[in-house]
Amino acid sequence: MEVVDLVLPVFAVIVTGWLAGQLGYISRSLADGLVHFAYNVAMPALLFITVAQEPARNLLEWRFLMAFGINYYLVENDADSPRIAVAFEEAERTKRPVVVLVGDEYHGFNR
């Protein structure tokens, strides 16, 4: 999945709302409620549907993770193993998710 495929529908919703406001289809008083609905209901639903249609392996690509601001740590060999502890420390410190990507060459699943 390309990041553009995921982000484009979100920006389409934003631009459509902006155009509706600029062209007078939506009053200023109605705009606050619509912004609240779009931000708290419509956008998360769109994101969920888009992500749910993708295979799990595509969702772990670093470009996808970076689109959401999720830090990731790549472990490809023994020398990289301290990154696992760094990832856990960061998650605990920031109270945000982090991802540890383990290269196929290292974990042995494809051996």
pLDDT digits (tens, 9 = 90+) for 2-33: 667 777 887 887 888 888 888 888 887 887 88
What lies within 8 Å, CB to CB, of 63 at 6+ separation is 3
For 57-62, what is the mean pLDDT?
70
Give the CA count within 13 Å in the CB-facing half-sphere of 35: 9
pLDDT digits (tens, 9 = 90+) for 39-50: 788 878 877 887
For 51-55, what is the mean pLDDT?
77
The predicted pLDDT at position 85 comes to 94
Instruction: Compute the distance between CA of residue 107 and CA of residue 56 in angstroms, rounded to an integer.
Output: 18
Chain mean pLDDT for the chain: 78
Strands (E), the chain: 71-75, 98-102
